[in-house]
Amino acid sequence: MKKISRRKFSTTLTKGIGGAALLNGMPLACAMGNPNKPQKSLGVALVGLGSYSTYQLAPALQDTEYCHLAAVVTGTPEKARTWSSRYNIGEEHIYNYENFDAIKDDEGVDIVYVVLPNSMHAEFTIRAAKAGKHVICEKPMAMSVAECDTMMEACEQAGVKLAVGYRLHSEPFTKEVKRLVRDKTYGKLRYISADAAYISRGNPDQWRLNRELSGGGALMNMGVYSIQSIIYGSGENPISVSAQEFSTRPEYFKQTDETITAQFELPSGAVGQMMTSHNVRANRLYASCDSGWYELDPASTYIPLAGRTSDGPMNFEQESQQKLQMDDFAKHILEGTPNVAPGEMGKRDMVIVEAIYKSIAEGGKTIPLDLGNMGIVKRS
C-alpha cells in the first residue's frame, strides 16, 4: 500500500470530516475531570484530535474511574492551544506527529490511544509500544493482516498491552447478547443477520473516501461492526464467507466500496448474513434460535442502544460506551481482568475483511476461513 506523508494527511484531513470537528461552543465536562477518581488512575494520551476524540473520548475521560486524559498529540497548533486551555494540559504533555517518540519520557502517560486514519494505525501503535506505552488502537486495527502482525509483535516485544477500540464489548446491551449466547437461552442458533450503515453526504475529499488513508470504504468502517455482531451474536467464528459489492453513486465513491453484502457459514451450521454501506441507513443485529430470538436495534450507535428478545425488552442503564471501554482496558492493566478487545480480535476481523474483498474480486466465490477460536474472549 502506498504510504502517505503526514503533511499530505494534514492537508487532506482539513478538507474532510475530521478537520471540520471544532471545539467551539461544545459542551464539555469540567476541565479538571472527576475529583472522585480512585488513586490508581492511568494517564491516556489521545493521538489525533478529530471528531471522535473531540466529542466522545475526551468527554468520556472526564468521567472514567481508572484512567484520565493526560496528553494529546496533534499536528494543528490551534487545536493544541484549545485543548490545553479546556482540559488543563500542560505544554510538556502536548506532542505533534514528529516529536511523538519523546512521549517515552512522559511519566504521566501510561496508555496511548491511536485515533488516526487507518493508514497511520500501524506506525503509531508500533511507535507507542517502543516508547513503552500500552496501546488502544481504533478500528479497524490496521490496513492489512500483515500490519496487524507487526503491531502485535511490537507490543509483545515491548511488554505492553494492546487493545482495539471495540467499545461495544463493554456496554450492557452487547454483554447481554453475549450472555444469551453463552447460556444458550433460546437453544440452537439457526440464523443471524447484522447491518451497519449510514448515508455519507459529506465532502468527497474526506479521508474515509481516500483509499490511501482508509484502505477501503464501508467495509473498513461500518462493516467491522457487522462482522463483530455476527461473531459475538453467535459466539462462533465463521468458517467461510462469500460476498458481493454494489455501487449506485460511483461519481461519489470513486475509490472506495459503497455497499457490501456477505454470507457466512458458522461451525454450528447456522447461517450469517451481513450488510454494510456508506449509502444506506441501517443498524441492527437479529438472531433466530430454536426457542426464541434476540435483537439489538440500534446495535452499534453511541447511546442510546435498544434491545429486545422474544420474552420482552432489555432494560439497562445507558452511559458512555467510551467511558466503559477505556475503564475496562485500564482495569485489565491494573488488575489483570480480561482484555475484552485484544489485538488478536482486531487481526481476526482483518482476516475476514481480506476474505470478503477476495470473494468480491473472484465474483462472489466462497472463501474458506480457518480462525478456530481466534479473538473470542471467554468470560465467566
| Catalytic annotation, residues | 139, 225
0.85 cut: is pTM over it? Answer: yes
E strands, the chain, are: 42-47, 67-73, 94-95, 111-114, 134-137, 162-164, 189-199, 240-246, 259-265, 271-277, 279-289, 292-296, 307-309, 312-313, 367-368
- pLDDT value of position 35: 52
Residue closest to 94 by CA, chosen among 80, 105, 108: 80
- Scan for cell 448474513, then name that residue: 273
pLDDT in tens, 64-99: 999 999 999 999 999 999 999 999 999 999 999 999
Q: Is the pLDDT of residue 105 over 60?
A: yes
Assign domain 169-316+343-368 to its CATH superfamily: Dihydrodipicolinate Reductase; domain 2 (3.30.360.10)
Three-class SS state of 162:
strand
Between CA 264 and CA 253 the distance in angstroms is 26
Three-class SS state of 201:
coil
- pLDDT value of position 283: 98
CATH, range 6-167: 3.40.50.720
Mean pLDDT on 95-122: 98
Annotated domain spans of the chain: 6-167, 169-316+343-368
Structure letter (DSSP) for residue 120? G
pLDDT in tens, 250-299: 999 999 999 999 999 999 999 999 999 999 999 999 999 999 999 999 99
- Scan for cell 491511536, then name that residue: 114
Confidence at 40, pLDDT banded by 50, 70, 90: confident
Higher pLDDT residue, 40 or 60?
60
Question: 163 near 342, Cβ under 8 Å?
Answer: yes
- pLDDT value of position 38: 55
Query: Is residue 185 classed exposed, middle or buried when 0-12, 13-18 and 19+ CB atoms within 10 A define those classes?
Result: middle
Q: Is the pLDDT of residue 28 over 90?
A: no
Q: Is the pLDDT of residue 32 over 50?
A: no
Q: Which residues contact 99 (CB under 8 A, 6 or more apart)?
A: none
Residue closest to 189 by CA, chosen among 296, 264, 271: 271
Residue type for 203, please? N
